[in-house]
Amino acid sequence: MIEPRFETLSEKCLIGQRVKMSFTDNKTFQLWRGFMPRRKEIHNSIGIEL
């Protein structure tokens, strides 16, 4: 059994887009299709994670 734990993380600035969806109306593909062409607009990124 996995024990839950709490961690304190350093402050981060997040960016992104939002789309209303549900499990039955999954729009993840449309969300990523809209985000990926604009990812080069992100300046001062810390890593390559998306």
pLDDT in tens, 1-50: 899 999 999 998 888 888 999 999 999 999 999 999 998 898 888 888 87
CA–CA dist 50, 47 (Å, integer)? 9
What confidence score (pLDDT) does residue 15 get? 85
CB 20 within 8 A of CB 28: no
Task: Compute the distance between CA of residue 3 and CA of residue 45 in angstroms, rounded to an integer.
Answer: 32
Residue type, 14: L
> pTM, whole model, 2 decimals?
0.56
| Beta strand segments in the chain, E | none
